[in-house]
Amino acid sequence: MQSPERSRRNVVIVSVPPDILDYPTSTDMVVREGSNVTLRCAATGTPEPTVTWRREAGGTISLSNWHEAAVSIEGPELEITRITRLHMGPYLCIASNGVPPTVSKRILLTVHFQPMVWIENQLVGAYEGQILILECHSEAHPSPITYWTRPTNETIANDENYKVETISKGSYEMTMKLVIKSVRVQDFGSFRCVATNSLGETDGRIKLYKIDKPTTRKPGTRWESKKTWKTDHNHEKKVAGMKNEPMLKGDDIGDEQIDFQSATASSAFHRHLLTNFGITAITVILVGGSST
């Protein structure tokens, strides 16, 4: 007896590495701050790839008003609501299915917003002739045009007394500096720092007011004053005194001038000056213009 024929079916599974389609995958995008954004990444392959979103520079991705944030997000779409300047930068959509190689696409997200300006010190005191640096901090994208105006509302250009500097910090931050090489009378008043781009203009004000130039006493300088009194013969006697000097010790008194406190004597004036150890005493007696 013949056995029935048996059929055999072989199933061949072909693995295909992942690939990211140009369409409908998102390209680089430019959006206004405050808008909603959806980034798309269309991937094919066998088995079906998994799509993961990451920021190229690392860090977290904030999705909804900063209440949801993660280092990576899975799914073919990345939705961000109420986008801010902090979302700006390159994103990577990464497709993998276990079949090498893993592929990725870079999508640059650019956020436009009008300039903002803030100032740490809005009231600054200075004296004539002083070297002074005024600073404003600004954020804007696209990059703004920046300039300063003087109290007369004239735009300031680099010259022998003014120097304008702009220092960029990242893609949208900058510091605006105005160096005044020698403050003059006409500089007292309000200076304006202005930042303007295609979305708007913003300015900040710094008021410069006058102060007295500080005076300093050189080390080792002695302050001297003159004391005056009258004897009963109406003769003026003036003695040069020294303040802020230590009391003399013993034999050191001989060649030094003595600081007398003001006093009036009718017929005789006695002045005793004791050293800090109480050892030596000097008596000065003025009678009719004579001393003993």
Does the residue 283 lie in any domain?
no
Do 166 and 181 fall within a single domain?
yes
Boundary of a domain, candidates 166, 183, 210? 210
Does the residue 224 lie in any domain?
no
Do 185 and 128 fall within a single domain?
yes
pTM, to two decimals? 0.66
Do 86 and 154 fall within a single domain?
no
Residue (of 285, 276, 126) closest to 210 by Cα position: 126
Of 64 and 287, which is predicted with more confidence?
64
Do 50 and 131 fall within a single domain?
no
Does the residue 203 lie in any domain?
yes
Does the residue 175 lie in any domain?
yes
Boundary of a domain, candidates 194, 210, 226? 210
Does the residue 230 lie in any domain?
no
Of 229 and 120, which is predicted with more confidence?
120
Do 107 and 24 fall within a single domain?
yes
Boundary of a domain, candidates 210, 234, 259? 210
Structure tokens of 52?
Answer: 């993961």
For 178-233, the pLDDT digits (tens) are 999 999 999 999 999 999 999 999 999 999 999 999 887 666 655 444 444 444 44
Do 132 and 108 fall within a single domain?
no
Q: What three-state secondary structure class fits 250?
A: helix
Do 137 and 185 fall within a single domain?
yes
**Gyration radius from the chain CA atoms:** 42
- Domain range for 134 is 119-210
For 22-68, the pLDDT digits (tens) are 999 999 999 999 999 999 999 999 999 999 999 998 889 988 666 67
Amino acid at 251: D
Does the residue 292 lie in any domain?
no
Does the residue 199 lie in any domain?
yes
Strand partners, 98: none
Residue (of 160, 145, 46, 163) closest to 99 by Cα position: 46
Does the residue 272 lie in any domain?
no
Do 144 and 66 fall within a single domain?
no
CATH number at residue 195: 2.60.40.10
For 160-176, the pLDDT digits (tens) are 999 999 999 989 999 99
Could you give the number of structural domains in the chain? 2
Q: How far is CA 142 from CA 36, 83, 113, 175, in A?
A: 19, 16, 7, 15
